[in-house]
Amino acid sequence: MEKFITDEIQAEAIKDLSELVGIASFNEPAETNAPFGKGPKKALDKAMELVQKLGFKTYEDPDGYYGYADIGEGDETFGIVGHLDEVPAGNLEAWDVEPYKLTEKDGKLYGRGTQDDKGPTISAIYAIKAILDKGYKFNKKIRFIFGTDEEILWRCLAEYNKKEDPIDMGIAPDAEFPLIYAEKGLQQSYLTGPGSTELNLDLENAFNAVPGKAIYNGPKQAEVYAALQKHGFESDQKDGEIEVHGKSVHAMNAPEGTNAVVRLGIALADVFSDIKVLQFLKSFGEDANATNLLGDVSDDVSGKLTFNISSLKITPEGSRMQIDMRIPVKIDHDKLIDQVSEAVEKFDMKYENFDYVAPLYVPTDSELVKTLMQTYQDLTGDTESKPAISGGATFARTMHNCVAFGGMLPTTPDFMHQANENWSKADMRKAMEIFAEAIYRLCV
């Protein structure tokens, strides 16, 4: 096999990555032609500038939602979908380096976005440049699509898909090798119902995390604590409140966690037997696959439904829960929602939609998946890893015939969204080699 990536190519890629890392591009209030704030827009402008100098033909959405860069010709379009927004640096004292300045130390590249997703995006761009530098021409148009709202609500690519033609096949370099061919549907919703004058409760958490603790400082604490002990739920009582202990995990892995909000709700149901939402929680139990509520919801590709109840609020005016469902790829979404709505009606509750992202499924015997898998195996010698399914979400699911492919190797430590985010130069180079060979096989 031909080696595409040289020291010079990687050095150029790192130089451009430095320019992108130098821009803090987390979501901020909208400004004119910058719907997600000045940072993501500045990063998009810079990306357009960087790819133009490499010979790409660029287009930037006049409303500032997205941009793309084309190179090559052909009747088909191969898409590469990355994102330029990022999460904030967080506690700066937890960083050993300046988060918005690319710092090379001990063979690693430090800075916000080095793994998620500026590093992989730049690596894929320079994989294309490496192929061109060898004198090859593409038999397809290759389009880099730059999103600016991946960390929030994906409004950038919703706008792209309204305005632009679909790609024929593609990759999103924003996950892990070898590839993800199936991503469950993501439904976030509310369950609302009657309130209570007996109990005020406000347990707010993120949709996408199993709550690891729940604080109760309401009435009848002795009875509530006794109920927790009866159920064997770990908790502490002191200073006029009860803390219920759980295990926090991402909602896509909800069965691996321990939901402290649900545990508190089950105990409260024993004490406040007339509150409908609590009786719902008691009926639901601790089965994060929602078997008690819905029966077996699963398929032969992506496994079981996961159902995470992350928040619980009760006031005299009403009650509300947040739920996060990761839906198997072959399950009919609308029928499932009807099933949920019917199941909660008996508790005088109603289903309300918040946000839905459709699933991804590209069969493992497709040309795209077979070529990408063979490339990964040929360049790494890893014949044990298999195409993966995920309850998580990447931009691949917004595109036709697209899968998440890299850029992290299975052995790469995960520093995404963390202090001291970094990517080793060796892993970056291997990712660039895999990208280049895969694009060569699919597009030359």
Q: Indicate if the pLDDT at residue 235 is higher than 90.
A: yes
- CATH number for domain 185-351, candidates 3.30.450.80, 3.20.20.220, 3.30.70.360, 3.20.20.70: 3.30.70.360
Q: For the chain, which residues make up each domain, given as ranges?
A: 7-183+360-443, 185-351
Q: Count other C-beta atoms under 10 Å from residue 137's C-beta.
A: 11
Structure token digits, residue 388: 């993966």
Mean pLDDT value across the chain: 96
The class of domain 7-183+360-443 in CATH terms is: alpha beta
Confidence label for 391 from pLDDT (cuts 50, 70 and 90): confident
DSSP secondary structure letters along 185-218? EEEEEEEEE---SS--EEE---TTB--SEEEE-S
Interval 39-76: pLDDT, tens: 999 999 999 999 999 999 999 999 999 999 999 999 99
Q: What is the mean pLDDT of residues 392-402?
A: 94
Per-residue confidence (pLDDT) for residue 89, from 0 to 100: 95
Amino acid identity of residue 169, one-letter, is M
Per-residue confidence (pLDDT) for residue 126, from 0 to 100: 98
The gap from C-alpha 230 to its chain's centroid, in whole angstroms, comes to: 38
pTM of the model: 0.85
Confidence label for 1 from pLDDT (cuts 50, 70 and 90): confident
Structure token digits, residue 295: 């029966």
Q: Indicate if the pLDDT at residue 351 is higher than 90.
A: yes
> Helices (H), strands (E): how many in the chain?
11, 24
Parallel/antiparallel/unpaired status of strands 180-183 and 388-390: parallel
Beta strands in 270-412 (DSSP E): 298-299, 303-304, 306-314, 319-327, 350-357, 360-361, 388-390, 402-404, 407-408
Per-residue confidence (pLDDT) for residue 392, from 0 to 100: 83
Nearest one of 24, 296, 59, 263 to 164, comparing CA atoms: 59
Interval 296-341: pLDDT, tens: 999 999 999 999 999 999 999 999 999 999 999 999 999 999 999 9
**% residues pLDDT > 70 (the chain):** 100
**Could you give the C-alpha distances from 249 to 127, 254, 306, 345, 403, in angstroms and in order?**
35, 6, 12, 29, 24
115-135: buried (b, 16+ CB within 10 Å) or exposed (e) per residue?
bbbbbbbbbbbbbbbbbeeee
Q: What is the mean pLDDT of residues 355-372?
A: 95
Q: What is the mean pLDDT of residues 231-260?
A: 95
* Tokens 């031909």, located at residue: 2
Phi, psi dihedrals of residue 304, rounded to the nearest 5°: -95, 155
Interval 170-216: pLDDT, tens: 999 999 999 999 999 999 999 999 999 999 999 999 898 999 999 99
**% residues pLDDT > 90 (the chain):** 96
Confidence label for 380 from pLDDT (cuts 50, 70 and 90): very high
Per-residue confidence (pLDDT) for residue 226, from 0 to 100: 97
Interval 247-292: pLDDT, tens: 999 899 999 999 999 999 999 999 999 999 999 999 999 999 999 9
